[in-house]
Structure 1
C-alpha cells in the first residue's frame, strides 16, 4: 500500500521519452500492454511517457493465487493478523507525522475472479501535526503458498477535519481491478511484483533489493528484514523496509520525510505493570492538557525527563516526545502540541497495557480534545476530533455492549453537531462523552 500522506516529497517524476516495455495487467491472466503511462497525481493528467517497468520474467505475481485459509496471515515480513497495533512516527512536509495501524475485528468479504475471499481489515489512521490527515481500511488475505495479497482499500483524505476526497479507493473485483501481491511467500533479491495494479487509479511495482538484513528496532536489533524499491504511478520511487514482527517497518529517512515504526504490539509488549514514572507522566500530561500553563507544562517536562531516565524508550518516540514538548513549552496554549504529547504518552503505554485498554484511554483523550477545540470555536478541529472518537470506537466494537451503546448514541449527536458547525453543542457533548467513557473504563 502507498498512502497519499508521503506523496509530495518522494522523488521526482520520471518522464521518459519514447516507448517502454512492460505489462498492464488488469487481472492475473490479462493481456499484455506495451506501456503504462505516467500519471501526475496532483493534476490527474496522463502523460505520454511510459513507466520503466520490469520484464514479466522477473515478476512473481503472475500465477492466480488460491485462498483456502486466507485470514491467518503469518508471512514473517507481512504478519498482518498477528500484529494488533503498530505506531509509526516521523515527519512529512516539515510537520510531525504519526500513524496508528490497527487490526480490526471481523473480516471483509471480497469477490474476485468468481471467488469469495475473506480478508482481514487493517485500519490506517495518519495524523499530520497531531490532526487527522488520512484514514484507510486496507484488506489483506494470505494465499495457500504463503504470499500475502492486497485486496483493496477505502481511503478518506482529510482537509481541516473533514473529508476532502476518497482518491486511492479500490477493491479487487470492482471496475476490473485485480488483487495484488503485497508480499511473496519467500522474498528473494530481484523479485518483482505489483502491490497495486489498476493503472490510472492506483499502481505500484515493487522490486526486492535485499533480504536477510538486520535493522534497529524499537527495543533491539531485528534480523530477517528486507528492502524493496517501489515505482509509483507518477514515476516517483521510494525504498521501504519490511521486518519480521512488524511488516512495513520504515519509509523515507530521518533527514527528510519519514514514516517509521515507533513500536508494535504484541511484538514489543512486556508483561509488567505500568512503571510508576510512566503513570506520573500520564497524570502530568492530562493535568496540563486540561489546564495548559507554563507551570503545568514544565511539570510534564520534569515527569518526562524522570521517566526516560528510568525506563527503555524507543528512540523514535523519545525524539518525537522531546520535539513536541519543546513546541508545547514555547507555546503552552498550542492545542496541537498538547495533543501530540498526549498521543505520544498513550503510545508509550502500549508497552505495558493491552491495545483495548490504551484505546479506551484514547477515547478519553479525544473527548477532552473535543471540549478544548469546541471551547476555542475551532470548527475543523472539532470535526476531526469526532472522527478520532469514531475511529477508536470502531476498534472497540463488541466490547462492553451496554455501556458502549451510550457512547455510540452520543457520538452520533456529536457528529451531527460537528456537521452543523455547532461548536457549543459539541462542547456540551464532549463533557457527556467524557463521563460515558469514564464509566466504560470503570
Structure 2
C-alpha cells in the first residue's frame, strides 16, 4: 500500500497468488497441525503459511521465465535470460523472508490471536445519518461533501466524501473518492469504502483502485489504465475489514486496518494525541493525533500522519522527511 491514509502504501513487492488446490493443502496442513499442537500462535502460523506461498510463487515465476528463455534464438541473449531468471528468483526468495520477518514483528505488536473481527450490519450506522443525527468520527468526518486537497512530492491529492453507498458484506459503506494527479494527469483514482460503527470507530471496508500511466509518445497524450493492483473488498476471497480510525485512540495501540494477504496488510500504531503541527489547510497545538503507518509487505518503510480533530488528516511525513500537506478543507 502507500500512501495517504486514504490510499495504500505503494509497494514494490512480489505479487503472489496460489491455485485453489495449493491453498486447500495449506489450509489442511495448518488445521491438522493445530489439532495436535498448541493452537494459540495463529498470527505466526499465518505468516509461515504465506511465506511458503511466496516461495511457491517465486518458483512458479522462475519456471515461466525459463520457458520463455528457451525460445530465445540468440545463444548469448538466451544465456542472459537464464541468468536474470536465477537472479530474480534469489531476490524474490530474499523478499519472501524479509516480509515474513516483518509479519512476525506485526504479530509481536498485535498479538497471536486469529484476525477475525466481527463485521455485522447491525453494528454500523446509516451513512446518511453521519453529520446529521450521528456525530462523525473526529479524525475522518465522513460527511457527504467534505473535501480535502493535499499537495507534496509533485502530487495533488483530492479526497471527497461522495453521496454514494457501497454494500460490502452486507454493511453499508460510504464511498470516498481519492484522485492522485501528477503533471495534470491522474496516476491513481480510487473509490475507498468506509463504515462508521455505532461506537464512532471508522472501519475500512475495501477499495476499488485504478492505476494509470502516461506515455509521452501517444497522440494525444492521455492517462492509460494499466492495472487495478491494490483493490480488495471485505468478504471477497477471504479479505477482512479493519478499523481505519478509532473514535478515541489510545497511545500505544497497534492495529490492523485491513487484511487481504499478500495485497493489503496496512497496520497503524498510535504514537501521540498531543502533537503540534501546521499546514496551509489546518494546524494543531497540543491536540494532534500522530500515527505511524506501515505494512509488512514493504519492510522498514514508515509514514507518520497527523490529524486535527474535526478536520482529519493534515499531514503525512515519510522516512526521508518529505511532506504531503493539507492545502484546503471544505465542508
* TM-score, scaled to structure 2: 0.62
Q: Is the 8 A contact 2:279 2:315 kept in 1?
A: no
Pairing 1:42-53 to 2, within 5 Å after superposition: 45=92, 47-49=96-98, 50=100, 51=102, 52-53=105-106
Per the alignment, do residues 222 and 62 of structure 1 end up closer, same or farther by CA in structure 2, a change over 3 Å counting?
farther
Structure 2: unaligned runs, 5 residues or longer: 13-39, 55-87, 215-222
Deviations 1:401-441 (CA, angstroms, capped at 9, x unpaired): xxxxxxxxxxxxxxxxxxxxxxxxxxxxxxxxxxxxxxxxx
Per the alignment, do residues 102 and 133 of structure 1 end up closer, same or farther by CA in structure 2, a change over 3 Å counting?
same
> What SS is found at the alignment partner of 2:97?
strand
Pairing 1:46-125 to 2, within 5 Å after superposition: 47-49=96-98, 50=100, 51=102, 52-53=105-106, 54-56=108-110, 64-65=118-119, 67-71=123-127, 72=130, 74-81=136-143, 84-91=146-153, 96-111=154-169, 116-125=170-179
Deviations 1:219-263 (CA, angstroms, capped at 9, x unpaired): 663353211112212212221122223323221269754322111
Per the alignment, do residues 147 and 220 of structure 1 end up closer, same or farther by CA in structure 2, a change over 3 Å counting?
closer
2-side partners of 1:63 and 1:8: how far apart? 25
1:167 to 223, 226, 229: 229
Name the residue aligned to 2:43: 33
Name the residue aligned to 1:237: 302
Name the residue aligned to 1:227: 290
Q: Is the 8 A contact 2:282 2:326 kept in 1?
A: no
Deviations 1:295-322 (CA, angstroms, capped at 9, x unpaired): xxxxxxxxxxxxxxxxxxxxxxxxxxxx
> Size of the alignment, in residue pairs?
235
Structure 1: unaligned runs, 5 residues or longer: 10-29, 267-442
Deviations 1:334-355 (CA, angstroms, capped at 9, x unpaired): xxxxxxxxxxxxxxxxxxxxxx
The Cα of 1:265 is off from its aligned counterpart by 0.5
> What SS is found at the alignment partner of 2:10?
helix
2-side partners of 1:62 and 1:249: how far apart? 31
Name the residue aligned to 1:133: 187
Higher helix share goes to which structure? 1
Q: Is the 8 A contact 1:211 1:225 kept in 2?
A: yes
1:144 has 2:193 as partner = no
2:312 to 220, 230, 247: 247
1-side partners of 2:126 and 2:2: how far apart? 22
> What SS is found at the alignment partner of 2:240?
coil
Pairing 1:301-316 to 2, within 5 Å after superposition: none
- Of structures 1 and 2, the one scoring higher in RCO (CA 8 A, sep 6+) is 2
> What SS is found at the alignment partner of 2:239?
coil
Deviations 1:117-138 (CA, angstroms, capped at 9, x unpaired): 1111100000112221100000
Name the residue aligned to 2:330: 265
1:158 has 2:212 as partner = yes
Q: Is the 8 A contact 1:179 1:196 kept in 2?
A: yes
Name the residue aligned to 2:74: none
> What SS is found at the alignment partner of 1:48?
helix
> What SS is found at the alignment partner of 1:122?
strand
Per the alignment, do residues 99 and 254 of structure 1 end up closer, same or farther by CA in structure 2, a change over 3 Å counting?
farther
1-side partners of 2:148 and 2:262: how far apart? 30
Q: Is the 8 A contact 1:58 1:191 kept in 2?
A: no
Higher strand share goes to which structure? 2
Per the alignment, do residues 6 and 31 of structure 1 end up closer, same or farther by CA in structure 2, a change over 3 Å counting?
closer
Name the residue aligned to 2:16: none
1-side partners of 2:280 and 2:238: how far apart? 41
Q: Is the 8 A contact 1:97 1:130 kept in 2?
A: no
